[in-house]
Amino acid sequence: MDELTQRERAVLAFEARPWRARGAKDAAIREELGLSPTRYTQLLNALLDREAALAFQPVLVNRLRRVRDEKRARR
């Protein structure tokens, strides 16, 4: 089975946290994960397509997939 790396698990755990302000989240992405917000979003979107991510955090991944699909449908 496809295993998640520690970094991938950290990205999912980070995304599960509630954020009130985009700026605070962006700063935390840089500080805690050592990634730019753009790279973080790229990694997160790639994770959403992986079965290992779904198995690790099914509620979060399904919610994020729905949000992503809704955004794509509006374009």
pLDDT tens-digit readout, 35-61: 999 999 999 999 999 999 999 999 999
| Residue 28 lies inside a defined structural domain of this protein | yes
3-state secondary structure 14-40: HHHCCCCCHHHHHHHHHHHHCCCHHHH
**The pLDDT of residue 68:** 94
| Residue 1 lies inside a defined structural domain of this protein | no
Residue 21 binned pLDDT confidence (cut-offs 50, 70, 90): confident
**The pLDDT of residue 1:** 53
Whether residue 26 has pLDDT greater than 90: yes
| Residue 22 lies inside a defined structural domain of this protein | yes
Total domains, the chain: 1
Q: Is the separation of the CB atoms in 47 and 11 below 8 Å? A: yes
pTM: 0.87
For residues 15-19, give the mean pLDDT.
93
Q: Which helix (H) or strand (E) holds 75?
A: none
